[in-house]
A = this chain, B = another copy of it.
Amino acid sequence: MSILTRPILEINLDNLLDNYLTLKKISGKAIAAAVVKDDAYGLGAKKIAKLLYNKAKCRHFFVAHGVEGKEVREAAPDAFIYVLQGIGEDSLDEFNEAQLIPVISSKEQLAFWKEHRIAGIKPIVNVETGLNRLGFREYELSELEESDRKEFSYVMSHLACGDAKEHFMNQHQLDMFNFLRDTYFPKLPASLSASDGTFLGEDYLFDMVRLGAAMYGINTAPYRENQMKNVVTVKAPVLQIADLPKGEFVGYSATYRATANRKIAIVSIGYGDGVPRSLSNVGKIFFNLCDKLHEARILGLISMDNIICDVTDIQNLQVGDMAHIVSDFYTLDDMGRDAGTISYEIISRLGKNQRFIRKYKGGEEE
């Protein structure tokens, strides 16, 4: 028996690299840019950028903020690093220092850029095609000067429903993108698709795709089995096993009551570690004992530091055994569905506190 207290986040770099290479293949002649924003969805942007730079010759990276780009620059000395949220007074230093490339989405950003141009850098222009998020609307594009249109190295847009193959929005956005490109940026290289779009066929690939979620193992084409390998594993040790007598309550606000005598395990992970509290009373965790998989239902409200689960029918479970929270057999996508959210939200929050033991598997030397 081991006495352990800390949760563990394992990141399989070999699988991540495989996913990137698979996606790159699907992307054909398009440049396969890697999206490593928000610290590579929480998995470590510097580490992952370095891996892709060294092992897959990736030379195009997308981040959300200048401060993120600066960190990626340390890992990818001569790569193109694009910043999706654009450039501002609060990120100008990072852009200059790390030679970052802003994605310009509005006339205000363009005006700012023209005042603070960085020598040798040509921004991407982002055009709105139906997501109604960041991007020039057509009424703004029509007001651009001829010289403004020559500022840019790429024209991009972003799909709203790329994860739903037959959604009418896909063709609509594709048509709109082609129209805007032909009308306002006829000779400019183009990028429309993130991970999900790469599965929609050749028309959606253009000159560059932006690979994020799928690279991290998320199924961005949920209308079929996931083609990606699992990257994220989360485990946490059992701190205590105890009897739960019939009639007793479990957890804050006493939301679960035992209708029979049960056995419970208290596991050392909670919502403070990024496990969604919405899994309370509905989620499940797993134990792998003697190569047999056991499912344990989550009982009561999840706490900041602990999950309580029903282990009545699990023989031989011991204090110190590891509960599998996210795994090959219960992925981020599975957890997202059970939690009433999406895997993207979960991955971006897991393991951000210092109590996690973070292990990188594969990827070889620094």
Contacts and interface: CB of A to CB of B under 8 A. Distances in A.
Interface of A: 1-6, 37-39, 41-42, 64-68, 71, 84-91, 105-106, 108-109, 112, 128, 130-135, 137, 139, 160-161, 163-164, 167, 169, 237, 239-240, 242-244, 248-254, 264, 266, 268, 271-272, 274, 277-278, 300, 303-306, 308, 319-320, 340-342, 344-345, 348-349, 352-355, 357
Contact of A266 (B133, B167, B264): B133
Nearest to A8: B90
A67 B3 contact: no
Nearest to A91: B5
Contacts of A348: 271-272, 304
A2 B319 contact: no
Given A240-B134, A342-B277, A112 B306 contact: no
B133 A251 contact: yes
A60 B259 CA distance: 40
Contacts of A306: 85, 133-134
B239 A105 contact: yes
Nearest to A344: B304
Contacts of A277: 341-342, 345
A251 B160 contact: yes
A90 B5 contact: yes
Copies in the complex: 2
A306 B84 CA distance: 11
A42 to B, nearest CB: 8
A160 B308 contact: no
Contact of A354 (B67, B252, B266, B271): B67
A86 B239 contact: yes
B85 A239 contact: yes
A305 B164 contact: no
A305 B349 contact: no
A352 B274 CA distance: 11
B6 A160 contact: no
Contacts of A272: 37-38, 41, 64, 348-349
Contacts of A300: 132
